[in-house]
């Protein structure tokens, strides 16, 4: 068994904000080509603040824990604050991840980026440059 922190184990065993969010303003879905894990993240936005967030993840313990913790970290923050977050923030918040599981944290950041991208598309808003770059990278991976 991998050496997971207590926080990772807690989020894995008791994941927060699980399930589909009805009438979400944005939905992001990403997958990892190597392991086959899939993550969907739903957001509801009001005045550029993420008011509600939930996820569905079919994946490993680290993927579930990072999905769960990102929902707690993001709720109540503005989109511009959220876009500054990296997978390192998530890993730190979980008191670390085994090196072999670092890539799992990227999945949650990508799912969140895609949910925000979807929100911007639906609202017809101008997409920030950094978000556009992330979306293009994720789209490229989808075509492999
Ligand atoms: Fe696939 Fe963790 S092993 S996301």
Q: Can you give the CATH number for the domain in which 40 is found? A: 3.90.1010.10
Q: What mean pLDDT value characterizes the chain?
A: 95
Residue 21 lies in a domain: yes
Active site residues: 35, 104
CB atoms within 10 A of CB 27: 18
Percent of the chain scored above 70 by pLDDT? 99
Ligand 1 pocket residue status of 102, Cβ below 6 Å: no
Strand pairing category for 49-58 and 26-31: unpaired
Indicate whether 1 belongs to any domain: no
Residue 36 lies in a domain: yes
Q: For the residues 72-96, what does the mean pLDDT come to? A: 96
pLDDT at 70: 97
Is the beta carbon of 32 within 6 A of some atom in ligand 1? yes
What whole-number distance in Å separates Cα of residue 63 and Cα of residue 126?
30
Ligand 1, atom 4: nearest CA belongs to which residue?
104
Question: Which positions ≥6 away from 67 have C-beta within 8 Å?
Answer: 15, 39, 41, 55, 57, 107, 108, 111
Question: For residue 133, what pLDDT is reported?
Answer: 95
Provide the pLDDT for residue 16: 98
pLDDT at residue 15 greater than cutoff 80: yes
120 in a domain, yes or no? Answer: yes
Residue 111's pLDDT is: 97
Shortest-distance atom of ligand 1 to CA 34: 1
Tens of pLDDT, residue by residue over 93-144, are 999 999 999 999 999 999 999 999 999 999 999 999 999 999 999 999 887 7
Beta strands in the chain (DSSP E): 26-31, 38-46, 49-58
Residue 78: pLDDT band with limits 50, 70, 90 = very high
- pLDDT at site 72: 98
Count up the domains in the chain and report the number.
1
Comparing 6-10, 34-38, 64-68, 72-76, the range with the smallest average pLDDT is 34-38
Candidate of 4, 61, 63 to mutate for ligand 1, largest count of ligand atoms within 8 Å of Cβ: 63
The C-alpha angle 92, 39, 32, rounded to 5 degrees, equals: 85
**What is the model's pLDDT at position 143?**
79
- With a 6 Å cutoff on the Cβ, whether 104 touches ligand 1 is yes
């Amino acid at each position: 068994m991998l050496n997971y922190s207590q926080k990772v184990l807690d989020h894995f065993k008791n994941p927060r904000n699980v399930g589909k969010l009805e009438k979400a303003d944005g939905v992001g879905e990403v997958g990892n080509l190597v392991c086959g894990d899939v993550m969907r993240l739903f957001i509801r936005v009001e005045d550029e603040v993420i008011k509600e967030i939930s996820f569905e993840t079919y994946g490993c313990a680290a993927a579930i824990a990072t999905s769960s913790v990102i929902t707690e970290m993001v709720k109540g923050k503005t989109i511009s604050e959220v876009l500054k977050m990296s997978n390192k923030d998530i890993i730190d918040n979980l008191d670390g991840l085994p090196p072999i599981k670092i890539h799992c944290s990227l999945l949650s950041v990508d799912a969140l980026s895609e949910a925000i991208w979807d929100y911007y598309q639906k609202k017809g808003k101008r997409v920030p440059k950094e978000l556009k770059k992330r979306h293009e990278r994720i789209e490229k991976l989808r075509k492999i």
